[in-house]
Amino acid sequence: MPSDAAARRGGSRMRLAGRIVLGGGLGLCLVTFAGWVWLNAYACACAFSKVRLRWEDTEALAAFIPPFGIGVVVMILGGTLWFGGWAQGP
């Protein structure tokens, strides 16, 4: 049977892993959104002052929605690992 110290280390590692996974998912979402904004700015002849996010452009959205969705799923997994570690104790 593991000692209290070993159980605490395991919980701490799960929280750290959760933070890393959550950060990775957040990074993926941010990079995906930045890429989509960049694509819209490029389509507007690089006029960053008049960038309009074109929700009706289904071809571009078909390329950007899957990585964004994966990023959301990874963030949820990271949050589950992080806060699941809190339930195990300090």
| Percent of the chain whose predicted confidence (pLDDT) is above 70 | 70
> What's the burial of 18, exposed, middle or buried (CB within 10 Å: 0-12/13-18/19+)?
buried
- For the whole model, what pTM was predicted? 0.73
The pLDDT tens digits for 53-80 are 777 878 888 889 999 999 999 999 999 9
Q: Which residues fall within 8 angstroms of residue 33, CB to CB, at 6 or more apart?
A: 64, 68
Neighbours of 47 (CB within 10 A): 9
